[in-house]
Amino acid sequence: MTPEGIRRAGPRDLEVVTGLWLTLGDHHAALDPAFGVRSDDRGRAEAREIVRRLLRDPDAALLLWEGGEGRALGLSIVRAARAPGVALEDERAEISDLWVDPEARRRGIGRALADASLAWVRQRGVERVTVRVAVANAEGQAFWRALGFADLLDVLQRRL
């Protein structure tokens, strides 16, 4: 069950989801070139194939928020995974992507997508969900922290 305006994406949404996902990649690339995605035909084809696999993955949910005119203005990708058998916590989930069209922000769409993603995780019986947010993404950091997410680990990098 999803809130009004949100529905689970299916195979017919392949191009829409791919477009939103690539737009999110462009947003992240503006924060740091390390997040850049290919914008040529090959890059788009590879992105389409990744989305196609996610749409078929029983451990993933791709959620779309559509406006009254049926245009997709938001996307959330959430996935559950099993941890190695040695871990005490054997299942975990990650909201890997959440995007709202800049013109549709500040209307509760991101929150609705996050809530629907968390509900999907709960329905699977998973007790912990993570998100990864770029340090430079102040808006994203504030959004997730307002929803109760907190630091878990630091990922350090060094360019060579």
Stretch 29-55: mean pLDDT: 87
- Of 40, 64, 65, 68, nearest to 51 by C-alpha is 64
Residue 64 forms part of a structural domain: yes
As a whole number, the mean pLDDT across the chain is: 90
Residue 84 forms part of a structural domain: yes
Asked if the model's pLDDT at residue 57 lies above 50, the reply is yes
Asked if the model's pLDDT at residue 1 lies above 70, the reply is no
SS3 145: helix
Residue 151 forms part of a structural domain: no
Asked if the model's pLDDT at residue 81 lies above 70, the reply is yes
User: Would you state the pLDDT for residue 3?
Assistant: 58
CATH of the domain at 128: 3.40.630.30
Stretch 54-58: mean pLDDT: 97
Tell me the pairing of strands 6-8 and 91-100: unpaired
pLDDT (tens digit per residue) in 105-157 = 999 999 999 999 999 999 999 999 999 999 889 999 999 999 999 999 888 88
Residue 111 forms part of a structural domain: yes
CA distances to 47, 60, 90, 107, 109 from 140, in Å: 23, 22, 28, 15, 14
Stretch 48-67: mean pLDDT: 96
User: Would you state the pLDDT for residue 139?
Assistant: 92
Residue 1 forms part of a structural domain: no
pTM of the model: 0.90
> Based on the structure, what is the number of domains in the chain?
1
Residue 135's domain comprises 6-146
The proportion of the chain whose per-residue pLDDT surpasses 90, expressed as a percent, equals: 65
Residue 17 CA from chain centroid, whole number = 11
